[in-house]
Structure 1
Amino acid sequence: MSAARMASTPPAQLIAALSQLLGDAQLSAQTLPGTDIRLWLIDAEKMDRQFSPEETQRILEDPPYWCFCWASGLVLARWLAQNPEWARNKRVLDFGTGSGIAAIAAAKAGASEVVACDLDPLALAATRANAELNNVKLGYCADFFAERDRFDLIIVADVLYDRANLPLLDEFLSRGQQALVADSRVRNFEHPLYQRLGIMQACTWPDLAEPDEFRQVSLYHAARSLAATTC
């Protein structure tokens, strides 16, 4: 099968998973606003109807993170495109990669190595398909803690939506010299090593009509070298 043919059809595994979850929903290759990155995402035209109670329950129990590009991932991808020096010639790990948007952006920014990490096998399958769609090469892992301390940069988008996950902020610096964290749910990490670089506007794609507060994405940076100065 030719590369062009493969790129025109999403992987059968993803089609089957989405069909099980949402019945008639479909995937289509979409270019993300403000980027040159294309992803296999849920077709927005199929979002117009109301979900049945059964579908809603399935979505709540097992959210298909991999078939949306969440606002924080979009902000992180745009940031890396505008500031490629953050990733260029560096070893990067994308924690909770989801659709792979941030990992792909890091690869396009010139990273020497990018590892997409996610516990969800479907997220890794979607990221593989999306990497092929964008002609970039990624590595993959399902267990962050199995990785050695060898990365220059850990990138993270929309994983800290629950404050119970905040201890991960320290763990990121156990595997990488620096961390870039984008989040639209937790307003202030109140962590001594993380400094806010700015607040950017973005929405989840396809647009889920989320409240305006979730379109305000904060981007934080931490460097391990700062740890020594605070001890």
Structure 2
Amino acid sequence: MDNFVLGQTRLTTLDFIPSIRLYLADEVIPVWEKSERDAPPFWAFAWAGGQALARHLIDNPDLVRGKRVLDLASGSGLVAIAAAQCGAAEVIANEIDEYAIAAVSLNAQANDVQVRAHLGDLLEEEVDVDVVLAGDIFYSREMTQRMLSFLDRFDGELVLVGDPGRAYAPTSGFDRIAEYDVPVNSDLEDTQVKRTVILRAIPGLVRNTTLP
């Protein structure tokens, strides 16, 4: 797994978050074609939602300092790494793709932080953490509904989501607490800058949220 990730990417410093380096693909099509028999290679790119959420943590480290953090649908591990850099007591990066798990581990090593990569679907499990983070999770109706059902269980914990205006982003149940103009790969997003919001779940209201 590590060799495949390293063969498709190069270590890149993020312009939007210079404190973080990730193994990222320079081009979209080659890595996508080589991954077509497996899960899509979301781990090979720094998506807008994750970049905005990571930036928000770096700017507001007290949100996670000393806390147990879950980064849901972690992808490259970008948000998990930001949480670790901010002094989180424990960081779990969850993914269902074994290549993403490899990418998370490689990226954590490249940034000299401790992140526990967890392979498996946590959406039906009980998870004991203080903070739940998720970047770019509202891209399909089915996934959004599953994610919201999971996030609804965290009434007393901080839940933050980075969303760049995906089609199924909820229209209620969350407060918009920040906005960022995030530089993105134009081959992925058809634009060079993506306006991205940070959403904070309102305790008790996520279950009643409405979708577009």
**2:95 alignment partner in structure 1:** 118
Q: 2:22 aligns with which of 39, 52, 57?
A: 39
Residues 93 and 115 in structure 2, CA contact (< 8 A), matched pair in contact too: yes
- Please, which of 144, 162, 172 is the counterpart of residue 182 of structure 1? 162
Structure 1: which 5+ residue stretches go unaligned?
Answer: 1-9, 19-26
Shift in alpha-carbon separation, 1:90–1:125, aligned structure 2, 3 A:
same
Alignment length, in residue pairs?
A: 201
Does the residue aligned with 2:80 lie in a helix, a strand or coil? helix
Aligned to 2:45: 68
Task: Tell me the equivalent position of 1:156.
Answer: 134
Measured against aligned partners, the alpha-carbon deviations of 1:54-80 in whole angstroms (never above 9, x if no partner) come to: x87666774211111111111111100
Please give the TM-score of this superposition, normalised by the length of structure 1: 0.76
Match of 2:106 among 129, 132, 137: 129
- CA deviation string 1:26-85 (max 9, x = no partner): x2111111321001111x3xx3xx958xx8766677421111111111111110000111
What is the identity, as a one-letter code, of the residue corresponding to 1:169?
Answer: L
The answer (yes or no) to whether the contact 1:103–1:115 under 8 Å persists in 2 is yes
Residue 214 of structure 1 deviates from its aligned partner by 7.3
Percent identity for Structure 1 against Structure 2: 30
Secondary structure, in 3 states, of the residue corresponding to 1:199?
strand
Letter in 2 for 1:153: V
Encode CA deviations 1:95-135: one digit per residue, 9 max, x unaligned: 00000000000011111110000000000110000000001
> In the alignment, which residue of structure 2 is the partner of 1:97?
74
Higher helix residue share: 1
Q: For 2:201 and 2:104, how far apart are their aligned partners in 1? A: 26
Amino acid at match of 1:182: G
The letter of the residue matching 1:222 is A
RMSD over aligned Cα, in angstroms?
2.9
The answer to whether the 8 A contact 2:42-2:76 is kept is yes
Q: Secondary structure at the match of 1:189?
A: coil
Instruction: Give the Cα–Cα distance (whole angstroms) in 1 for the partners of residues 76 and 161 of structure 2.
Output: 16
Greater CA radius of gyration, 1 or 2?
1
Counterpart of 1:140? 117
2:203 aligned with 1:221? no
